[in-house]
Amino acid sequence: MVGFWRATLLSLLVCASARAEVLHLATGDDYAPFTGKALVGQGMLTQVVRAALAEQGMAITLDWLPWNRGYLKARRGEYDATFPYVPSAEREADFLYSAPIYEADQFLYSRAGDAIELADLPAMAGRRLCYPLGWQAPEAIQQLIEQGVLRRHSPLGLKECARLLLLQRDDLFIADRHLGESALRSTGADAGAFRRSQAAFQHNTLHFIVSRQHPRAAELIERFDRGFAALKARGDYQRLIERYVE
């Protein structure tokens, strides 16, 4: 009988421990390809966050909230964490940041014989921009689309944009280094057939963040970083990123 109750108690403790390992997260919608309720896997970085935490034996629940509301609730400790956010002095006063989960420099990609820089675009009326369906263009680019300077064409994925450049059906596409170079490789063409702009729009890193008010803030960031490092070491992170150019 003692053995029975000991086993029962152990079972209850294990169950309680398992419940304690569920983290409650918030993020925002319509930030393709990074987060989005309608995206495959709810977005590229949603998958990264889920996989990194799973490496540490943690599952998640995920609430989709307006960005500012989710941020404020996470800051007050109503959620265990939120993502993805770029660093700022104001945020760093309130949150601990993970290692960068994505490097988000944006470049223009064009054909090798047609060098295009951001500063050139306002004078290039009628150029055809290839930007995948559902992806949000950077603000400066969106303004040029709305002004009619650029004509946007939206296939399903970035690989198609790279192929359309080769076929001269589109003139440029926009991507960071990871996504852009992976799309170019998918064409099988020589790398010299394409050109990446010399200047990026800006350099941003995206992060998983935990409020400094959270009693386990340092622990959660440390465990997340360990799980994320394991994904990168096995090549799982790069494979996940590359799936988003399909």
Across 82-109, average pLDDT: 93
Above pLDDT 70, what percent of the chain? 91
Average pLDDT across the chain, whole number:
88
Going from N- to C-terminal start, the domains of the chain cover 2-101+204-243, 107-196
Across 202-207, average pLDDT: 87
pLDDT for 202 beyond 80:
no
Quote the distance between the C-alpha of residue 169 and its chain's center: 28
CA-to-CA dists, residue 220 to 48, 80, 98, 116, angstroms: 15, 9, 9, 43
More confident residue, 170 or 140: 170
Structure tokens that stand for 76 in this block: 């007050």
Rounded Cα–Cα distance for residues 116 and 108 (Å): 7
pTM of the entire predicted model:
0.69
Cα dihedral 130, 136, 140, 142, rounded to 10, equals 70
| pLDDT score for 6 | 44
Surface-to-core class of residue 45, CB atoms within 10 Å of its CB (0-12 exposed, 13-18 middle, 19+ buried): buried
Whether the domain at 2-101+204-243 and the domain at 107-196 fall into the same CATH topology? yes
Domain spanning 107-196: CATH superfamily = Periplasmic binding protein-like II (3.40.190.10)
More confident residue, 76 or 1: 76
Lowest mean pLDDT among 145-149, 160-164, 174-178: 174-178
pLDDT one-digit tens code per residue, 178-192: 788 888 988 999 989
User: CB neighbours of 131 closer than 8 A, spacing ≥ 6?
Assistant: 137, 141, 152, 153, 154, 161, 173, 174
Q: How confident is the model at residue 13 (pLDDT cuts 50, 70, 90)?
A: very low
pLDDT for 159 beyond 90:
no
Across 55-64, average pLDDT: 97
pLDDT one-digit tens code per residue, 27-50: 998 777 888 898 889 999 999 999
| pLDDT score for 158 | 87
| pLDDT score for 220 | 98
The Cβ of residue 53 has, within 10 Å, a number of other Cβ atoms equal to: 24
| pLDDT score for 246 | 63
More confident residue, 123 or 65: 65
| pLDDT score for 8 | 41
Q: How confident is the model at residue 238 (pLDDT cuts 50, 70, 90)?
A: very high
Among all chains, which residue has been given the structure tokens 């970083």? 225
Domain spanning 2-101+204-243: CATH superfamily = Periplasmic binding protein-like II (3.40.190.10)
Rounded Cα–Cα distance for residues 194 and 114 (Å): 9
Across 213-229, average pLDDT: 98
Above pLDDT 90, what percent of the chain? 62
Within 89-167, strands assigned E span: 95-97, 102-103, 107-111, 127-130, 150-153
Structure tokens that stand for 42 in this block: 């709810």
More confident residue, 142 or 178: 142
Lowest mean pLDDT among 42-46, 97-101, 104-108, 213-217: 104-108
Structure tokens that stand for 188 in this block: 């099988």
